[in-house]
Structure 1
């Protein structure tokens, strides 16, 4: 990591360093993603959201490319993740599907599909749809949504939940290795990265940077990641 002052920097300081490292503002901006609108997220069918949660569960600790290659098989085996059909699956049915060669055969992860379908169904009964629930959750407390998914879902802790949210367009920062290292080096937090206190401190800092910049949480974490680590333009690896 580059030499950093041992205190949280302003967004402008971080942005300027990222520009310097990536070859200018135009080059940096081309690397940044865009989050979806709340209306777009609210319109996503809940079965597609279950599919995205499942994809990220299977990608966790595994080769993402292999999961993507096998994804059509997952959709066939699990009926395009129809919520009602997933709720009706017995343990025996799930065990049988966990042996299907069209998917990645991991029984523990296969069982998360029914569990997460139950979470989605419960939320949909209270909020109209899981998609609406996600769309309405305030970005200023995005770590609270992470905690909710971890508590009520299956295998959605760590970065799995945040990556799933990012995939469906919900604005969220990601605590990648570079982002976590930066936040620790600048004393934004000093405990375990997944502790409630640390996540509150990290959220507060991102909220401040958002107020300073008007940027989405997604772009803020991308800019931080691009401002540190070994991703300098022209670097010899």
Structure 2
């Protein structure tokens, strides 16, 4: 049986640990509006998906340093140009020293461009599709990206959505530890049942607090672990 706290208790503990409400608020980042997300060009969304695919299991700082090279090599992630690339062209691109040379991840760029093109035909733009997905079923969007995209499972898809500005929680190690300790879910973290239980609890906390999923997720992470005020995070 779940032993979840009211969100006010989680919030109060985070405030105590971080030095007060003002200090806590300064540590939080906010999601973008649906209007702002809808206005993002789809090539920039493909770029963000690609960045998160390459950062997965790798040093994020190195990817950031190499990023101007990625934009040059892949024509600023123009969707149509990516779809026209043959296997031979992608293999050649994967050897370019301006990028991180990982052929399997390079091929995901075309795969994810195809996913975006498919969505464009149905919804007008990938950005509009992302912006209008209901946040009370954000795990459904995670599942869509995992099923229809390439290498967007685990936390890669959620981190990409967070970078785009979509309101989502993140199952970081601290958040997962808290959810396990309070028995919010009782199976594997990535199972459909566990994710449904987690979504249900986040929806409840959102009703209690009126906060975004992003703020709730961040506050939970700041309310547990070794991140007391004055300690390096």
- Same fold at TM > 0.5: yes
Partners of 2:55 and 2:9 lie apart in 1 by 34
What corresponds to 1:110 in structure 2? 106
What corresponds to 1:83 in structure 2? 79
What corresponds to 1:50 in structure 2? 46
What corresponds to 2:164 in structure 1? 168
In structure 2, do the counterparts of structure 1 residues 236 and 62 end up closer, same or farther at CA, with 3 Å as the change threshold? closer
What corresponds to 1:30 in structure 2? 26
What corresponds to 1:209 in structure 2? 205
Partners of 2:185 and 2:119 lie apart in 1 by 32
Displacement of 1:235 in angstroms is 4.0
Partners of 2:55 and 2:72 lie apart in 1 by 18
SS of alignment partner, residue 84 of structure 1: helix
Partners of 1:8 and 1:236 lie apart in 2 by 27
Partners of 2:122 and 2:176 lie apart in 1 by 35
What corresponds to 1:95 in structure 2? 91
In the superposition, the TM-score normalised over structure 2's length comes to 0.98
Partners of 1:67 and 1:36 lie apart in 2 by 24
What corresponds to 2:8 in structure 1? 12
Displacement of 1:233 in angstroms is 1.1
Kindly indicate whether residue 156 of structure 2 is the aligned counterpart of residue 150 of structure 1: no
Partners of 2:178 and 2:87 lie apart in 1 by 44
Partners of 2:22 and 2:87 lie apart in 1 by 53
Partners of 2:40 and 2:20 lie apart in 1 by 36
SS of alignment partner, residue 196 of structure 2: helix
Which structure 1 segments of 5+ residues have no match? 1-5
Displacement of 1:190 in angstroms is 1.0
Which structure 2 segments of 5+ residues have no match? none
Given candidates 174, 178, 200, the residue that maps to 1:178 is 174
Q: Deviations over 1:116-159 (max 9, x none)?
A: 00000000100000000000100000000000000000000000
What corresponds to 1:3 in structure 2? none
SS of alignment partner, residue 172 of structure 1: coil
Displacement of 1:8 in angstroms is 0.4
Partners of 2:55 and 2:232 lie apart in 1 by 29
In the superposition, the TM-score normalised over structure 1's length comes to 0.97
SS of alignment partner, residue 108 of structure 1: helix
Aligned length: 232
Q: Deviations over 1:140-179 (max 9, x none)?
A: 0000000000000000000000000000100000000000
In structure 2, do the counterparts of structure 1 residues 13 and 112 end up closer, same or farther at CA, with 3 Å as the change threshold? same
In structure 2, do the counterparts of structure 1 residues 225 and 124 end up closer, same or farther at CA, with 3 Å as the change threshold? same
Partners of 2:208 and 2:230 lie apart in 1 by 30
Displacement of 1:236 in angstroms is 8.2
What corresponds to 1:40 in structure 2? 36
